């Protein structure tokens, strides 16, 4: 349920409503706008009538939220959430799209540093790289582990880029938090509820990828679980889903999910063209399509020699192609900027 306060209410009136909600055993999320304050009551609100809340001093209206993902719903938080990373990177709302780039897997220090420098020079703000890799086959490369995290930390210090890397096991949480700025939850772990619960207890930004065949609601409920534990710094990532025909692409890119998420949720959403397509020559057009559709960032795999990459070579851009894409994205963003300003 959301409680819409009258314009100009006092903090005392707001606090009284919050205390009343808490006394009923529910949680609250407060969205304070310039003109109006909205309080979301999270819990067993079905026990109580809207009239009961409307009788409270300073309340203008109470409405029920019909969707099950109440915390991440735009109904409970009307304004776009903006995630701040390392005090300088703003991801979300109508800020310029944030580009995340790097290898699928961290292979060695030298290659990672070369990638990080190219990524930064081209305009990327965040370095991606897998230290722990969830692989289907038990005898494939599964990452360098702690050594990979240390290489990411070296690259972070040398370039100033923020770092995002995937976490697979709650037991690694403290270690990964030490070396990274954003915790990535991969598609295979979107419904790893133990992991979601533990990450929800941290104050680290989270990049939550959509599951291999997850519905929009399942994806948002995964975000809801994280937020319910206290962490509201969530970045959603559409990375394609497995459908009836993946003969020509690795997954099916669900571009429609981007504007849909922006309508349903206040959380920022980015797009992963590498995993969505599985082919390097489809990354450029799909990246542009995602930005036009409203994606607030991209996460792209790059490598100096994709044909020699330990993992995901076919869906990885070489430096030349990445640099060209970044130039074209800058032009596209400049065209879209006035449109976004008007729509805002």
What is the rounded distance in angstroms from the CA atom of residue 260 to the CA atom of residue 216?
9
Reported for 82-88, long-range contacts at CB under 8 A and 24+ positions apart, including other chains, are 82/268, 83/205, 83/233, 83/234, 83/235, 83/268, 85/125, 85/126, 85/162, 85/181, 85/182, 85/205, 86/162, 86/181
Phi (first) and psi of residue 315, to 5 degrees: -110, 20
What is residue 33's predicted lDDT score, i.e. its pLDDT? 77
Count of all residues that appear for the chain in the document = 344
pLDDT digit of tens for each residue in the chain (344 aa)? 999 999 999 999 999 999 999 999 999 989 887 788 999 998 888 889 999 999 999 999 999 888 889 999 998 888 899 999 999 999 999 999 999 999 999 999 999 999 999 999 999 999 999 999 776 667 667 789 999 999 999 999 999 999 999 999 999 999 999 999 999 999 999 999 999 999 999 999 999 999 999 999 999 999 999 999 999 999 999 999 999 877 899 999 999 999 999 999 999 999 999 999 999 999 999 999 999 999 999 999 999 999 999 999 999 999 999 999 999 999 999 999 877 755 54
What is the rounded distance in angstroms from the CA atom of residue 231 to the CA atom of residue 197?
10
> Could you tell me which residues come within 8 angstroms of residue 47 by beta carbon, excluding any fewer than 6 positions away?
24
CATH class of 83-343: alpha beta
What is residue 76's predicted lDDT score, i.e. its pLDDT? 84
DSSP state of 136: S
> Encoding tokens for residue 112?
């990672």
What is residue 95's predicted lDDT score, i.e. its pLDDT? 95
Closest CA to 172 of 224, 133, 221: 133
First to last CA, the chain: 26
What is the rounded distance in angstroms from the CA atom of residue 282 to the CA atom of residue 287?
8
What is residue 147's predicted lDDT score, i.e. its pLDDT? 96
Q: Where are the domains of the chain?
A: 2-63, 83-343
Q: Is 216 exposed, middle or buried (0-12, 13-18, 19+ CB in 10 A)?
A: middle
What is the rounded distance in angstroms from the CA atom of residue 188 to the CA atom of residue 281?
25
**Beta carbons of 301 and 274 less than 8 angstroms apart:** yes
> CA torsion sign, 342 to 125 to 281 to 245?
negative
Closest CA to 158 of 124, 216, 212, 112: 112
- In order, the DSSP letters of 18-36 are HHHHHHTT-EEEEEE-SS-
Could you tell me which CATH number the domain at 2-63 has? 3.30.70.1140
């Amino acid at each position: 349920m959301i409680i819409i306060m009258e314009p100009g209410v006092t903090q005392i009136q707001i606090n009284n409503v919050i205390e009343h909600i808490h006394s009923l055993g529910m949680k609250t999320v407060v969205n304070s706008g310039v003109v109006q304050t909205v309080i979301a009551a999270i819990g067993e609100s079905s026990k109580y009538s809207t009239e009961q809340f409307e009788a409270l001093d300073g309340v203008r209206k109470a409405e029920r939220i019909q969707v099950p993902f109440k915390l991440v719903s735009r109904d409970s938080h009307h304004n776009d959430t903006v995630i701040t990373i390392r005090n300088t990177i703003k991801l979300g709302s109508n800020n310029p799209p944030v580009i995340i780039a790097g290898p699928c897997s961290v292979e060695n220090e030298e290659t990672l540093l070369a990638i990080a420098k190219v990524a930064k020079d081209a305009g990327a703000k965040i370095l991606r790289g897998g230290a722990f890799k969830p692989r289907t086959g038990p005898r494939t490369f599964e990452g360098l582990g702690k050594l990979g995290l240390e290489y990411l930390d070296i690259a972070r210090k040398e370039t100033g880029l923020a770092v995002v890397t995937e976490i697979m096991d709650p037991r690694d949480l403290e270690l990964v938090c030490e070396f990274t700025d954003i915790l990535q939850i991969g598609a295979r772990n979107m419904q790893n509820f133990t992991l979601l619960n533990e990450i929800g207890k941290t104050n680290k930004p989270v990049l939550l990828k959509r599951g291999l065949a997850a519905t929009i609601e399942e994806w948002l409920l995964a975000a809801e679980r994280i937020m319910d534990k206290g962490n509201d710094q969530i970045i959603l990532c559409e990375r394609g889903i497995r459908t009836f025909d993946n003969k020509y692409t690795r997954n099916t890119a669900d571009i429609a999910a981007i504007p849909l998420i922006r309508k349903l949720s206040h959380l920022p959403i980015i797009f992963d063209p590498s995993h969505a397509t599985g082919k390097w020559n489809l990354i450029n057009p799909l990246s542009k399509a995602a930005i036009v559709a409203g994606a607030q960032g991209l996460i792209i795999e790059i490598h100096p020699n994709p044909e020699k990459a330990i993992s995901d070579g076919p869906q990885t851009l070489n430096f030349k192609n990445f640099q060209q894409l970044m130039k074209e994205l800058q032009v596209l963003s400049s065209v879209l900027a006035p449109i976004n300003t008007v729509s805002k």
